[in-house]
Amino acid sequence: MAEQLVAPTRPTRTTKPLSTADLRRSPAGHLAAQFEAAEVTGIYSVALREVPFLTQVGLRVVPGTDAARRVEARLGTQLPARVGEVAIGTGLSVLWLSPDEFLVVSAADPAELTARLAEAIGAEPGSAVDLSANRTTFELTGKAARDVLEKGCPLDLHPRAFAVGSAYATSLGPVPVLLWKTGSETYEIYPRASFADYLGRWLLDAMAEFKALELL
């Protein structure tokens, strides 16, 4: 009897295809261990971490228009009206950038949020653009956080001038950032992703003084 050849069975694929989210790499992820090692406790406490992959939508719309009112209904808050102001909506925050320009920060799905805002604007002048990959976020906390920032920020960071809940476009060293004071000793810093490594190392260097004081 002639020998019959049996074709090998193709193995069944058991792993799921990688999604876009699985392939993302945070701009400062390689500095995480250094951030953790630089943390200072005690009287000069300060800590730094990256908060990657926040949804950030650039919004252009003229306040007071029908489009703006529809956008505000989607946001769950009125648009901020002046420099430094941040509006808190439904699961999101809206930072003032210019009289008709805002940054919406959220943990929501970026494509869904962008689509909802674009739909609200409709055919009227304005735009909603997903900028989530454009910036990353650093969170700086602790009693010495303000002292660290004052080494390279031109803003007056005293509480009488920079209140909790305020956000401004400024710089840290040579790096343009958005700086948002989210608590009495907590700041969120938004640099361009391409500057994340430089700024992360700049902040580590600015924190080193307080690490040395901790060891005294």
CA nearest neighbour of 148 among 189, 96, 198: 189
* Phi-psi sector, 64: left (phi>0), alpha (psi -120 to 50), beta: left
Give 48-51 contacts, CB < 8 A, sequence gap 24+.
Answer: 48/138, 48/139, 48/140, 48/141, 48/200, 48/203, 48/204, 48/207, 49/138, 49/139, 50/26, 50/136, 50/137, 50/138, 50/139, 50/196, 50/200, 51/136, 51/137, 51/138, 51/139, 51/188
pTM: 0.87
Q: What is the pLDDT of residue 5?
A: 52
- Domains defined along the chain, listed by start: 28-52+136-216 (3.30.1360.120), 53-132 (3.30.70.1520)
* Phi-psi sector, 91: left (phi>0), alpha (psi -120 to 50), beta: left
* Residue with the larger pLDDT of the pair 24 and 122: 122
Residue 215's pLDDT band, with cuts at 50, 70 and 90, is: confident
Digit-coded pLDDT (tens) for 68-104: 999 999 999 999 999 999 999 999 999 999 999 999 9
Q: What is the pLDDT of residue 213?
A: 84
